[in-house]
């Protein structure tokens, strides 16, 4: 996609996501900063912050688990290089601990695809599998929403017994809910 395409899809994604009732009533949202060709999240993060929502962003730990920090605007992000693997934008401020995600009313998840059952295919690092297991262990039941492109909604993805379905997928063309 061109830069203009990426910008347009990010704007559409943010517009549809912000219409979700779950986000309209959320006090705390765990999200992420998109990288590379992922559907863009900065406009959505800024809109949530402007609404007064507490936005938590992940910081990748050496064991692929996720710590969390608060997003207070673009200036609250730092570029962090993780070995030879990747550079991510992460919260520059205080780390809140791996359990901070349990305070979220909504968790916005990255992914490679989602299927008709709401099963999400991640990148294979297990970071979000740990997050979802931590939420289960804490008895937390936030809404789980994956942000994808329309072409990433597919008939079926592989699933393992520990995988949890999402309640909805937001794409540039709209929202699809799963039962």
Q: How is residue 49 written in tokens?
A: 């912050």
120 is in an annotated binding site: yes
Helix (H) or strand (E) holding 134: helix 127-138
Q: How is residue 173 written in tokens?
A: 């063309």
37 is in an annotated binding site: no
52 is in an annotated binding site: no
Closest CA to 109 of 135, 82, 131, 76: 131
123 is in an annotated binding site: yes
Q: Count Cβ atoms below 10 Å from residue 12 Cβ, excluding itself.
A: 18
User: Do 112 and 146 touch, CB atoms closer than 8 A?
Assistant: no
SS3 166: coil
124 is in an annotated binding site: yes
Q: Is 33 left (phi over 0), alpha (psi -120 to 50) or beta?
A: beta
28-30 and 106-109: which strand pairing?
A: parallel
118 is in an annotated binding site: no
38 is in an annotated binding site: yes
Annotated binding site: 33, 38, 120-128
Annotated binding site for substrate: 33, 38
Annotated binding site for ATP: 120-128
């Amino acid at each position: 996609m061109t830069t203009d395409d990426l910008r347009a899809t990010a704007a559409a994604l943010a517009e549809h996501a912000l219409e979700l009732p779950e986000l309209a009533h959320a006090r705390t949202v765990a999200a992420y900063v998109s990288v590379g060709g992922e559907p863009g999240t900065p406009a959505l993060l800024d809109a949530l912050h402007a609404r007064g929502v507490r936005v938590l962003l992940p910081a990748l730990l050496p064991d692929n688990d996720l710590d969390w920090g608060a997003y207070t605007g673009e200036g609250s992000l730092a570029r962090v290089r993780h070995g030879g693997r990747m550079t991510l934008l992460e919260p520059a401020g205080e780390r809140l601990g791996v359990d901070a995600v349990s305070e979220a009313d909504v968790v916005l998840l990255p992914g490679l695809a989602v299927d008709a059952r709401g099963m999400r295919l991640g990148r294979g690092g297990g970071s979000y599998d740990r997050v979802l297991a931590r939420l289960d262990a804490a008895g937390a039941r936030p809404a789980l929403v994956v942000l994808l492109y329309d072409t990433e909604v597919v008939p079926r993805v592989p699933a393992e017994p520990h995988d949890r379905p999402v309640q909805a997928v937001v794409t540039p063309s709209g929202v699809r809910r799963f039962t």
